[in-house]
Amino acid sequence: MSSFLRRLSLRQLTVFLEAARQMSFARAAESLHLTQPAISMQIRLLEDAVGLPLFDRIGKRLALTQAGELLRHHAARALGELQDAEQAFDALKGLRSGHSTVGLVSTAKYFTPRLLARFAGQHPEVDIQFLVGNRETLIHALRDNEIDFAVMGRPPDGLETVARTIAENPHVLVAHKAHRLAKARGFDFHELREETFLMREPGSGTRLVMEALFKQHLFTPKKTVMLGSNETVKQAVMADMGISLLSLHSLELELRAREVALLDVMGTPVRRNWHIVHMQAKKLAPAAAAFHAFLCARTWPHLDKTFARYAARP
């Protein structure tokens, strides 16, 4: 065994991957329930073992170096293989125990935890963990075997995956509750030409849907503002900063409280689907397979019951 491998530890790789995912030692410390000095020490030990810096530190911002990108890829795959081995051992014990890591695009976090609660009631010894990120983050996580499967919109191109549709995912144009067109019916998209559109960041599936909608209507927004999360977009809509296209399934609380309006624009809701996606070469262990089957069976009825009154037209 090389001196490099002898100096590595699983703890260091886990800390490094979380820091690389969060791009913040402080947030990685919070996520792993460690102190920030402990995170810094583990990264420093890992950099000593590698012999190269893993992060560029520019003020308070972090970025992976070329060595850091290389290590992130290999470390994620190595830990993923170890998790697969652990799940194989769990399979020998049956479904009474076991664990699975499931990726969620940020919109799916609004409904999947409720389904997990029901699953946990049936399988209390099974541990399900979520990795939440945008579409691009989950594609990398699938490729690097960091997750067993992902709940996302359109399945990724360029990866050998198995995808199963589990529900419709209508996208709606949402505005401030007192918007001038809140009560209008079936109006043309170009009536919104003077509006500010609030958009998610590149790599977001919601942004891809909005860009496709613009292209479909030959529409160029007068002004756009980029925001980094669904929560930020919703807060901005409620503050009357602009309008946005969001998954209907991210708006349950706001619609119940009547804090936003759904605009009845021709061509909306935009019909998309939710999918469960895993790598074709991935053999799901019993815990992951059980949760996968549960989501396939329960997601559509749950969402239909919750959102049917809004889904046909705004």
3-state secondary structure 155-193: CCCCCCEEEEEEEECCEEEEEECCCCCCCCEEECHHHHC
Give the integer Cα–Cα distance in Å for 177 and 56.
44
CATH topology (fold) of 171-265: D-Maltodextrin-Binding Protein; domain 2 (3.40.190)
CA-based end-to-end distance of the chain: 63
Q: Are 231 and 253 in contact (CB under 8 A)?
A: no
pLDDT in tens, 245-271: 999 999 999 999 999 999 999 888 998
d(CA 252, CA 199): 20
182-205, pLDDT tens digit by residue?
A: 999 999 999 999 999 999 988 888
Residues 44-76: pLDDT tens digits? 888 888 888 888 887 777 888 888 888 888 888
Average pLDDT for 94-107:
82
pLDDT band at 292 (very low <50, low <70, confident <90, very high): very high
Q: What are the φ and ψ backbone dihedral angles of 33, each rounded to 5 degrees?
A: 60, 45
In this prediction, residue 91 carries a pLDDT of 61
Does this model's pTM top 0.85? My answer is: no
Name the CATH code of domain 3-71 (choices 1.10.645.10, 3.30.365.10, 2.40.30.10, 1.10.10.10): 1.10.10.10
Evaluate whether 95-168+273-311 and 171-265 have a shared fold: yes
Contact (Cβ atoms closer than 8 angstroms) between residue 216 and residue 189: no
Is residue 92 over pLDDT 60? no
* Domain spans of the chain, in order of start: 3-71, 95-168+273-311, 171-265
Mean pLDDT of the chain: 87
pLDDT tens digits along 126-169: 889 999 988 888 999 998 888 999 999 989 988 899 999 999 99
* Whether 257 contacts 142, CB under 8 Å: no
Q: What is the pLDDT of residue 314?
A: 45
Q: Which CATH class is domain 95-168+273-311?
A: alpha beta
